[in-house]
Amino acid sequence: MFRTTVAAAAVALATAAAPLCSADPIAPQQDQPCPPTADEATTMPTTPSPTAGANTPLRCHEGRWQPVALPADPSDRWWSTGPAIPLHGQGMRNPNLLSGPWSGTPLAPGNRCHVAQRAVISAGVVSAPVATDGAPDETIHFDVAPTASAVEFSGYCLWTRLG
């Protein structure tokens, strides 16, 4: 009985502490400070909010996450904190990002970056997702197609359009 209780307590303690070790960084919030590495990067809220305007993009400007006036020009720098950030490529109206070469750089040790893209094949027809995954601590390089309709960035990463 005592061994069972001790084992149950050890399992409960281990599972309670596990999320603290592998939790995603806190998602940027409007008017909150942003790190210097995020300067002029844009992000999207990862969860819908009932507050008016809370689902608009945020840009790190002068050390704070500030809302972006819509419609906005495409951004060449994106910041993701873990959950997927859904964006529109040039295959859609009002793109969030432009085609061309991009990189995704992990922002903390042990992190990895992931990008998934869908391209417009013909009117009303979109490709299956094409994914690029990085190894832990590895910067990934990929091209966003001019016909990309949907691009999702995930992982705790800084995404930069090259050139």
Residue range 15-60, pLDDT digits in tens: 333 333 445 688 899 999 999 999 999 998 765 554 555 578 999 9
* Residue 2 binned pLDDT confidence (cut-offs 50, 70, 90): very low
* pLDDT at residue 16, rounded to an integer: 37
Total Cβ atoms within 10 A of residue 24: 15
* Residue 74 binned pLDDT confidence (cut-offs 50, 70, 90): very high
Cα diameter, the chain: 67
Domain count across the chain: 1
pTM for this predicted structure: 0.81
pLDDT tens figures, 140-153: 999 999 999 999 99
* Residue 163 binned pLDDT confidence (cut-offs 50, 70, 90): confident
Q: Over 80: is that where the pLDDT of 9 sits?
A: no
Total Cβ atoms within 10 A of residue 67: 14
Q: Over 70: is that where the pLDDT of 139 sits?
A: yes
Element (H, E) at 159: strand 148-161
Q: CB within 8 A of 91, min separation 6: which ones?
A: 119, 120, 145, 146, 147, 148, 149
- 48 vs 154, residue with greater confidence: 154
Element (H, E) at 3: helix 2-22
Is residue 126 helix, strand or coil? strand
Question: What's the domain range around 60?
Answer: 2-161
Residue 16 backbone dihedrals phi, psi, to 5 degrees: -70, -35
